[in-house]
Structure 1
Amino acid sequence: MKTKKFSVVGVIFLSIALLLSACGGKNTNNGTAPAPSETGGGEQISAVYFVNSTLGDKSFFDSAEAGMKRAVKELGIKAKTVEGGTNQADWAASLESLVSSGNYNVVVVGTSQMKDITIDLAGRYPDVKFIFFDDTIDGVPNIYSMLYSQSEGSFLAGAFGALVTTSTELKGANPEKVIGFVGGMDIPIINDFKSGYEQGAHYVDKDVKVVASYVGDFSNAPKGKELTMAQINSQKADIVFNVASAAGLGTLEGANEKGVYSIGVDANQNPLYPGSVLTSMLKNVDQSIFRAFELMQKGELKLGSSEVLGMKEGGVGLSKDELYEQHVPQSIKDKMVEIEDKLSKGEITVKSSL
């Protein structure tokens, strides 16, 4: 199996560096494009993306940042990114300082942990528009929100995991029908991933066992690795699904070290450990944020409402890059095409736990 080194020590140093720089709210200027973009009401869009963590997770938050950069480049918006750090107690005040500054007419923020804070600020600053991602907020006239059907995306991951653990073609697959799940926190959004994962696994084989662990946060990569190692060593999991942002980098490293498999999350993490990370469940956060700005520019963004973006809308899916083509057996690839087609056509119904 080909490997690519990505040490937990490296993750720790990167996390420390990012945290230190984020203590005062790290600003990342995304630049401006020549042609200014408007909100649809004649104002030039001046947006800020507040990260309720730090960048560098190579998945969820980085994907949102990529969407911001694309909007700057292609739509001409002005944009800045501010990292709020990992201390949750600081987030509300940090975000309010941005909203109240008068420098931004659009605020981009996400995750269920920021939902109540955003609703409160939107009520007190009605002239600011909010693009909220990864949860739904309805009935607030200056908030547009979008939720990704992580249950559908995770259904695909679970089906893929079941096909891997029952495969006779993959050297890292053992005779046990056990697949792992490492979540960042035991919260509704993460458990919706878990629910979809279990449904997908049991769609393929009802005897597949799903073992689950939670890191307790989204940054502790060594803990993510420790939990993954326990699932592999003690419970005989031969493929583990990372749903823990930066903490999940430890999951991917642990699976690689043990010569088994993993599934990345939110962005394409296949290149981190080629041949070990066989695929990644994609939340197309970047595309959805760009789409929201595009609709705003046209005056078509439905403020006050929310959308759920699933497989049919291109909100979720599996990464199928050249590494997927190289390392995944054709029998599994064929079966996944069949499952994806049925899901897109509504022939498979995935229940959300939310």
Structure 2
Amino acid sequence: MKRFLTFGLSLVLAASCAKGQAGPNPLSVAVFVPGVTSGSPIYEMLVDGATKAVAEKPGATIKVIEAGYDQSTWLDSLRDTVASGEFGVIVSSNPSIPELCAKLSTDYPSVRFIVVDAYMAGNPSIHTVLYNQMEQGYIVGYLAGLVTKERKPDAVPVAGLIAAQRYPTLDRLIRPGFEAGLKAVDPAFTLEFREVGNWYDSAKASELASSLYGSGVEVILPIAGSGGQGVVASAREHEASVVWFDGAGYALDPEAVIGCATIAQDRLVYERLKAALDGDASKYGKAEIVSARDGYVSFDPEGTGYQALSATVKAGMDAALSSLRAGTPDFSFDTF
């Protein structure tokens, strides 16, 4: 009897191991949103791109998992998603996510991760793509500079940037790009930087913006998640302006928002996920950087706020955008 039980247990374990080795369905996709989709253009594009790719692949399925704004819970939420055994591909978007994926990839080697708006090379389970956000910063910086100089030609040139928090992409790409755009208009420009402390406190962001507008700042760039809505509200109150990052800002206020730097996040996610679902595994382990020359970084000129600007400002922007797409200034970099 003892030998029979041992043999039976061995069969159960062997079956269990065989099932584990089979791994999750490679056509089962989880879109891991480190925040909330609704009201966040970058996450809405993430979901839209993934949904389109899945819809075009017979047998593929998709589930959207929202992890909320508390960054301290993201790893546990991602671990639960991966450990469920339900998903073969996890798609996400945030500079902090690749590090979390790397912590899980060893224990779950059959799961693959595609993370955009992020950079990590060398992990065979992870593919990342980073937008050249220095170019994005330059685009809205140049517009902020033109508008400020036109409205206050005799004032000391100054603009504002309100961020949720300090992080590498902000410090190394967005802020330097924004300052480069300002100084391309007038080298005398200075930048007033303020930090909210989180990605959702619109009241705090509004308070910081009101202080800047009250001190003479004409245009502010918010990099503050949903907190950016507080900056827009303050701009409306002070009859001042906002330039926006990652598109869709015009919908917040058609007059206060005067320009939106854009990324083709939906297109990028669609392209990379579709290739993966079709069996192309060549991108895993690699990190790439996409730019204005590729068409992934651009500017939306269709908003009411932008159309209301002077012909001189719009002509200046057209020239700057054409030059940037041709590689001037050259903000290219090979690694991050």
Q: Same fold (TM over 0.5)?
A: yes
Letter of the structure 2 residue corresponding to residue 311 of structure 1? A
Unaligned runs of 5+ in 2: 1-24
Which residue does the alignment assign to 2:189? 208
% of aligned pairs identical? 23
Give the helix-richer structure, 1 or 2. 2
Deviations 1:49-77 (A, max 9, x none): 11122223433222322222333444554
Counterpart secondary structure, 2:329? coil
Aligned partners of 1:73, 1:349: CA distance in 2, in Å?
Answer: 38
4+ residue runs over 3 A deviation: 72-77, 172-176, 297-301, 351-354
Which residue does the alignment assign to 1:199? 180
The question of whether the paired residues in 2 share the 8 Å contact of 1:239 and 1:262 is answered with yes
Aligned partners of 2:78, 2:118: CA distance in 1, in Å?
Answer: 18
Which residue does the alignment assign to 2:27? 45
Aligned partners of 2:123, 2:188: CA distance in 1, in Å?
Answer: 45
Which residue does the alignment assign to 2:19? none
Aligned partners of 2:253, 2:153: CA distance in 1, in Å?
Answer: 17
1:67 to 36, 49, 68: 49
Where do residues 234-313 of structure 1 align in structure 2 (5 Å cutoff)?
A: 234=215, 236-300=216-280, 301-313=282-294
Normalised to the residue count of structure 2, the TM-score between the two structures is: 0.85
1:225 aligns with 2:201: no
Aligned partners of 1:56, 1:131: CA distance in 2, in Å?
Answer: 21
Normalised to the residue count of structure 1, the TM-score between the two structures is: 0.81
Deviations 1:285-333 (A, max 9, x none): 2221111112224444511101101111122222121525532222111
Aligned partners of 1:99, 1:187: CA distance in 2, in Å?
Answer: 26
Aligned partners of 1:351, 1:344: CA distance in 2, in Å?
Answer: 11
Aligned partners of 1:173, 1:181: CA distance in 2, in Å?
Answer: 20
Letter of the structure 2 residue corresponding to residue 145 of structure 1? T
Aligned partners of 1:56, 1:227: CA distance in 2, in Å?
Answer: 25
1:178 aligns with 2:158: yes
Which residue does the alignment assign to 2:141? 158
The question of whether the paired residues in 1 share the 8 Å contact of 2:132 and 2:332 is answered with no
* CA RMSD after TM alignment: 2.1
The question of whether the paired residues in 1 share the 8 Å contact of 2:301 and 2:307 is answered with no
The question of whether the paired residues in 2 share the 8 Å contact of 1:146 and 1:306 is answered with yes
Q: 1:147 to 1:331 in 2, by over 3 A?
A: same
Counterpart secondary structure, 1:286? helix
Counterpart secondary structure, 1:50? strand
1:58 to 16, 25, 40: 40
Aligned partners of 1:322, 1:114: CA distance in 2, in Å?
Answer: 32
Counterpart secondary structure, 2:53? helix
Which residue does the alignment assign to 1:102? 85
2:168 to 176, 182, 188: 188
Aligned residues: 308
The question of whether the paired residues in 2 share the 8 Å contact of 1:107 and 1:130 is answered with yes
Counterpart secondary structure, 1:334? helix
1:133 to 116, 120, 139: 116
Higher relative contact order (CA 8 A, sep 6+): 1
Higher mean C-alpha displacement, 51-60 vs 219-228? 51-60
Q: 1:91 to 1:44 in 2, by over 3 A?
A: closer
Aligned partners of 1:351, 1:74: CA distance in 2, in Å?
Answer: 33
Larger Rg: 2
Letter of the structure 2 residue corresponding to residue 266 of structure 1? D
Counterpart secondary structure, 1:166? helix
